[in-house]
């Protein structure tokens, strides 16, 4: 017997720029939204019956329409508002998931002061959120960040690792440690200041990365997640992904020069891939 198993559908990469005009000062946001529906869609897949299918183009239009009326200014709150709207207007849904990423735009500094209506994209870092709502009342909010590129030039080593006949990597007591951090964390309650906690968690992650005496990427990754859970009680668990962006020491001896850990070549591929989820234990 053949039967439809898990399925969902939705709209991805709905791009939205919003300008909030506040007198002589503007706020600028750039979001990318993904909506996924789970529900009573078997007849569409199996029989070609579309009566329970809300067009994905309508999902896109809903993002723009709701953004026009919404007073929410952070990813998590707008994600909850959008998820609730879809559940309220679509009885065929059992749950919906809304994921949003935000590019980092800041007011341009002119003569040391933020210009009120001109902006600069400060980095490739993205702020992220994922809101899941179910008709039975179950809900969750994950916040996060992606592609936060960071580098430390001291306080990192890698030694004492397993070696076999194919190992060529030398041990390093002082190496560069660079990564493009991706992090996401789950809140234990919805009654929080998402914007404030996001800022605090980002500061913790960066502070631990900078100060931790690293024996490996794994060692530092765990320390970063551990401190977030120790200091932020509203977070239940955190996922961290830290690709090891290698910088290889250049051998200058053939040119009659030394290289006291100063000249490197960055290597994007291949790179190490390290990830873990750290959670509270009852």
Catalytic residues: 11, 56, 246
- Strands of the sheet containing 177-187, edge to edge, are 9-22, 25-39, 93-110, 113-134, 139-152, 177-187, 235-241, 275-279
Cα dist from 171 to 72, 144, 271, whole Å: 51, 33, 17
Backbone φ and ψ for 27, nearest 5 degrees, come out as -110, 140
Q: Which residues of 169-207 are buried (b: 16+ CB within 10 A; e: fewer)?
A: eeeeeebbbbbbbbbbbbbeeeebebeebbebbbebbee
């Amino acid at each position: 017997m053949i039967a439809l198993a898990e399925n969902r559908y939705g709209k991805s990469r709905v791009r939205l720029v919003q300008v909030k005009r506040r007198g002589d000062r503007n706020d600028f946001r750039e979001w990318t939204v993904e909506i996924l529906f789970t529900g009573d869609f078997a007849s569409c897949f199996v029989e070609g019956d579309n009566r329970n299918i809300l067009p994905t183009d309508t999902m896109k239009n809903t993002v723009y329409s709701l953004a026009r009326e919404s007073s929410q200014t952070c990813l998590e709150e707008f994600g909850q508002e959008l998820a609730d709207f879809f559940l309220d207007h679509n009885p065929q849904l059992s749950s919906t998931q809304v994921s949003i990423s935000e590019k980092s735009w800041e007011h341009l500094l002119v003569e040391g002061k933020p210009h009120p209506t001109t902006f600069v994209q400060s980095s490739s870092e993205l702020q992220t959120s994922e809101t899941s709502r179910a008709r039975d009342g179950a809900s969750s909010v994950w916040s996060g960040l992606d592609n936060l590129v960071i580098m430390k030039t001291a306080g990192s080593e890698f030694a004492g690792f397993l070696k076999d006949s194919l190992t060529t990597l030398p041990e390093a007591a002082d190496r560069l440690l660079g990564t493009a951090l991706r992090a996401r964390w789950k809140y234990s309650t919805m009654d929080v200041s998402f914007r404030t906690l996001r800022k605090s968690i980002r500061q913790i992650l960066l502070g631990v990365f900078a100060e931790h005496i690293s024996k490996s990427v794994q060692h530092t990754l765990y320390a970063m997640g551990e401190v977030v859970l120790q200091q932020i009680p509203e977070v239940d668990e955190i996922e961290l992904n830290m690709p090891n962006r290698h910088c290889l020491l250049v051998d200058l001896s053939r040119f009659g020069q030394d290289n006291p850990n100063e000249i490197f070549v960055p290597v994007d591929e291949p790179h190490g891939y390290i990830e873990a989820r750290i959670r509270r234990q009852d």
